Amino acid sequence: MSTMLSSVNLRRHWAFVALLSLALGLHLPIFGDALNPDATTYLAVAKSIATQRSLEIETTLAPRHPPLMPLLLTPFGLALGFNDISVHILELIAFVVLLLLTYSLSRGFGPRVSLVPSLLLSLDPVLYLNMSDGRSLCVLMILALSTLLAVWRGLVDSRWLVVAAMSASLAYLTADSVGYLFPIAGIAGLAWRFYYVRWQVFRDRWYLSAVAIFSSVVLVWTGYNVASQGNPYTDPRVIGYLDRLIGSTHLDIQIVMIGGFVVYFFLYLGQNFLPFLALREARSAVRSLPAKLVRDQRIGAMGLFIVLTILTSAVLSSAFTLYEPLRTLDHSDTYLRYAAVVAPIAFLGVGMLARTCTRTSKRWIVPLAVALIVLAVQFVPQAIERDDSSAWFHALQKDLSARNIETVYSDIAIYLRYNTGGIAFLSIDKGYSTPSVNITTSDVPPGSALLTLIYVPARFDERIEGLYLVYHFDPAINGPFANLYYRN
């Protein structure tokens, strides 16, 4: 009997199963791609959890993150090794879960439109890039969708608000930068609910329980940060950048930077809506959207989540661009990952718009095809470029081996260690609070090889792959070191 039911369900959802298989095939090339510094830090923390029962690692120069991604990686690392394979397997599993969740939310759109959000998501170039990099975007998308779903159900049964709080809490513990979105969304959500139910919101014990759960998670993680590093922030540098953006940046620069990123993120999330505006039905639906945002709380929740994400992402991106020493506007495309957290929600919106168009016209297929072509034009070059991402590390390994260097000290040792085989990388860390640092023989044994990016030696033997190489370290010759992480 159970076999028959499974067969019936498979036939009912055969189109989605085919799409899922195609999407997995498109994303399999992430295996072998190089990992981003965020991902190598996840691996280092996961290994520390497994071997030392600690969230702390050997250096403060690596980006510091909340604990959920390392915790998710730990069992994969124990089973498969702490390497890029473990990271990319986790990414693919999360991708499958994300597509399943997106499809489950879009099934109510009808058989002709139910696949639209999942189809768009499977070609999202920003998601592919971040899966290839090993970042947390896919997990954050799942948690954002889960939070929205729980909020929707909480409109009818407020017990679901507790589930929303738990999902938001996990998102807060996933990524430091995007984590700021969820406290902001909680405050805005309170104002949003107050608009509809007034003071009743404070008499809803399930809503109050949800607030207590999320607040407790924030307080516990804040307490851990205070105990482990003496301040309440996951990464104090991020707060420093935000403080300088808000407190000491001229207003005109704030407007240009934040406004520019707002437009950039709106274009990214809105590009799939634009082809549908060629249809009269879609234009009519867009004109009625402001009223629907107020009248329909489900659509209002989607709109609020998207707008808050874009605004928060624009502020963070502006702060990093202006004040993070090693980032410039050349890296602006990497900031799309902040806004992309709500891309599945935007794709659900495209599905809703397509459903509106199917009621009176069969021409909705044309704008959908245009939207898919636009995504594919972005997706294919991204996939090709990422396939070559390991070439730099292979060249570095070849260069070091040609010089008979098997062990090297580095200020980016964790990043190099998990991307480059055959070489032992040992960390040096002199902080980032001064314009120059003195690396001594207590940090690096005399005569050892030294390879740096952040600390620029006064004298070095050569540059390989953009890094500074010292064959035989001597502090009297190679010091002092300029600190590129320092910025007034």
Domain boundaries, the chain: 2-36+72-387, 391-483
pLDDT for the residue numbered 5: 43
Q: Does pLDDT of 183 surpass 60?
A: yes
pLDDT, position 4: 46
DSSP per-residue string spanning 331-344: GGGGGHHHHGGGHH
d(C-alpha 117, C-alpha 99), whole Å: 9
Give the mean model confidence (pLDDT) for residues 448-474: 96
d(CA 266, CA 250): 24
Position 1 scores a pLDDT of 46
pLDDT score of 487: 64
pLDDT tens-digit map of 229-251: 888 888 888 888 889 999 999 99
Q: Looking at this protein, which amino acid is placed at residue 459? A: R
pLDDT at 285 over 50: yes
How would residue 424 be classed by pLDDT, with cut points 50, 70 and 90? very high
Structure tokens at 396: 């570095």
Residue 170 to residue 196: CA distance in whole angstroms: 27
Q: Are 210 and 201 in contact (CB under 8 A)?
A: no
pLDDT tens readout for residues 340-394: 999 999 999 999 999 988 876 778 899 999 999 999 999 998 888 877 788 999 9
Position 179 scores a pLDDT of 67
Question: Would you say 363 and 369 are in contact if contact means Cβ atoms under 8 Å apart?
Answer: no
Mean pLDDT of the chain: 91
How far apart, in Å, are the Cα atoms of 226 and each of 144, 219, 220, 235? 27, 10, 10, 11
Q: Which two tokens stand for residue 258?
A: 């934040």
**Tens-place pLDDT, residues 76-90:** 999 999 999 999 999
CA atoms within 13 A on the CB side of 124: 32
Average pLDDT over residues 208-223: 93
Task: With a cut of 60, say whether residue 6 has pLDDT above it.
Answer: no
In terms of Cβ atoms closer than 10 Å to its own Cβ (0-12, 13-18, 19+), residue 60 is middle
Q: Contact at 8 Å (CB) between 343 and 269?
A: yes
Segment among 16-20, 289-293, 406-410 with least mean pLDDT:
289-293
Top-confidence range, 185-189, 237-241, 321-325, 365-369: 365-369
Residue 198 pLDDT grade (very low, low, confident, very high; cuts 50, 70, 90): confident
On the question of pLDDT at 297 being above 90, the answer is no
Percent of the chain with pLDDT over 90: 70
Burial, 310: exposed, middle or buried (Cβ in 10 Å; 0-12, 13-18, 19+)?
A: buried
Mean pLDDT across 417-432: 93
Residues 42-74 pLDDT 10s? 999 999 999 999 999 988 888 889 999 999 999
Give the model's pLDDT for residue 62: 82
Give percent of the chain with pLDDT exceeding 70.
97
- In this predicted model, what pLDDT tens digit does every residue of 102-139 receive, in sequence order? 999 999 888 889 999 999 999 999 999 999 999 999 99
pLDDT at 157: 92
Express each pLDDT in 467-485 by its tens digit.
999 999 999 999 999 998 8
- Nearest alpha carbon to residue 276 among 341, 358, 343: 358
Tokens 């990497």 label which residue? 334
Handedness of CA 48, 49, 50, 53 (dihedral sign): positive
Predicted local distance difference test score (pLDDT) of residue 115 = 95
Please give the helix or strand (H or E) that residue 421 lies within, else none: none
Residue type, 288: S
Quote the pLDDT of residue 73.
98
Cis ω before 480 (30° cut-off from 0):
yes
**What angle do helix axes 125-133 and 137-154 make, rounded to 10 degrees?**
120
pTM over 0.85: yes
